[in-house]
Amino acid sequence: MTTDHIFDLSGKRALITGGGSGIGKAMAHALSDAGASIILVGRRKALLQEALEGRDGMVIAADLLAAAAPQAIYDACADAGALPDIIINAAGLNPRKHADDISPEQWQQTIQLNLNVPFFLSQIFVPHMKQNNWGRIINIASLQSTRAFTNGIAYGASKGGVSQLTRAMAEAWSKEGINANAIAPGFFPTELTAAVFENDAVASHHAAMTCIGRNGGLEDLTGPTIFLASEASNYVTGQILSVDGGYTAK
Ligand SMILES: NC(=O)c1ccc[n+]([C@@H]2O[C@H](COP(=O)([O-])OP(=O)(O)OC[C@H]3O[C@@H](n4cnc5c(N)ncnc54)[C@H](OP(=O)(O)O)[C@@H]3O)[C@@H](O)[C@H]2O)c1
């Protein structure tokens, strides 16, 4: 007998915000490779379609900063008969502003997209998950959930919130079969971290901060994503799984 079945996502449907690029796209592909149908959400439709190419699922182009976005996304899924069993909240932004300079608008948008949207988008799909007595929510935390980095005032506040949001979601919903966990990535090369990876000295510094001695590659997210989205993590909830090469271990 093999244990493959506990990682099998056949018959499951996953909605991934930020699914058109970077970490969200990598996690969406991991779930698709494990058998799930994927719903990719983001603003750039062409990017979403490219990420979906050749895979089972659909795309929903939406600006998550719009107040009506969670309901509109719910309606698009319901109309397609495609309510998700798994939600990955990967859309995010980092204004990289010093505490002296950040504007109220930049602050609000960061907290809105990184913290408020993961809650309200999840909340709207929870009744469907409760009906099945099964669901998975995966949030994306950060090294900045627990550490202060330069120019990270709003981003760090939002990601600190994401960690606690994850624990509170687990407390609220796990008894009904809905496990909520977060992945806290180290440094991965994406659009969001272009400023880090464009500077060799900065990128090398972060690589040296890890136990493994390198920054992340998007393929490093495959196993942790499938684990947290599948039966394999039935008794794991309210946890923040660092996928950071041991950055936070030393
Ligand atoms: N890369 C890292 O090293 C790292 C480390 C720790 C945590 N993270 C977290 O990982 C998550 C994904 O980031 P990433 O690094 O993969 O960067 P990314 O490629 O820039 O991904 C951000 C995604 O969010 C979407 N997005 C941004 N604003 C949006 C809006 N208003 N409405 C809808 N979608 C929106 C973007 O798509 P559109 O522009 O098409 O809307 C994009 O797909 C973020 O939560 C980030 O904080 C990243």
User: What is the model's pLDDT at position 84?
Assistant: 98
Residue 48: which of 24, 31, 65, 80 has the closest Cα? 24
Show the tokens assigned to 171.
Answer: 């407390």
User: What is the model's pLDDT at position 167?
Assistant: 98
Kindly report the protein residue whose alpha carbon is nearest to atom 43 of ligand 1: 18
Is the residue at 54 inside a domain? yes
**Containing domain of residue 160, as a range?**
4-245
Burial-class residue 35 by CB neighbours within 10 Å (0-12, 13-18, 19+): middle
Residue 155: which of 202, 113, 101 has the closest Cα? 113
Query: Dihedral of the CA atoms 78, 81, 83, 86 (nearest 10)?
Result: -150
Please identify, by atom number, the ligand 1 atom nearest to the C-alpha of residue 19.
43
Is the residue at 38 inside a domain? yes
Is the residue at 96 inside a domain? yes
115: DSSP letter: I
Question: Is residue 155 flagged as an active site residue?
Answer: yes
Cβ-contact 14, 40 below 8 angstroms: no
User: Each residue's pLDDT tens digit in the chain (250 positions)?
Assistant: 799 999 999 999 999 999 999 999 999 999 999 999 999 999 999 999 999 999 999 999 999 999 999 999 999 999 999 999 999 999 999 999 999 999 999 999 999 999 999 999 999 999 999 999 999 999 999 999 999 999 999 999 999 999 999 999 999 999 999 999 999 999 999 999 999 999 999 999 999 999 999 999 999 999 999 999 999 999 999 999 999 999 999 9
In sequence order, which residues have a C-beta less than 8 Å from that of residue 43 and are 6 or more positions away? 61, 62, 63
Q: What is the pTM of this model?
A: 0.98
CATH of the domain at 56: 3.40.50.720
Pocket of ligand 1 (CB under 6 A): 17-18, 20-24, 42-44, 47, 63-65, 90-93, 113, 140, 142, 185, 187-188, 190-193
User: What is the model's pLDDT at position 135?
Assistant: 98
Is the residue at 104 inside a domain? yes
Is the residue at 250 inside a domain? no
Helix orientation angle between 45-52 and 22-33, rounded to the nearest 10 degrees? 30
Between the alpha carbon of residue 86 and those of residues 97, 110, 135, 160, 250, the distances in Å are 33, 24, 6, 22, 32
User: What is the model's pLDDT at position 1?
Assistant: 76
Total number of domains constituting the chain: 1
Show the tokens assigned to 86.
Answer: 């798994």
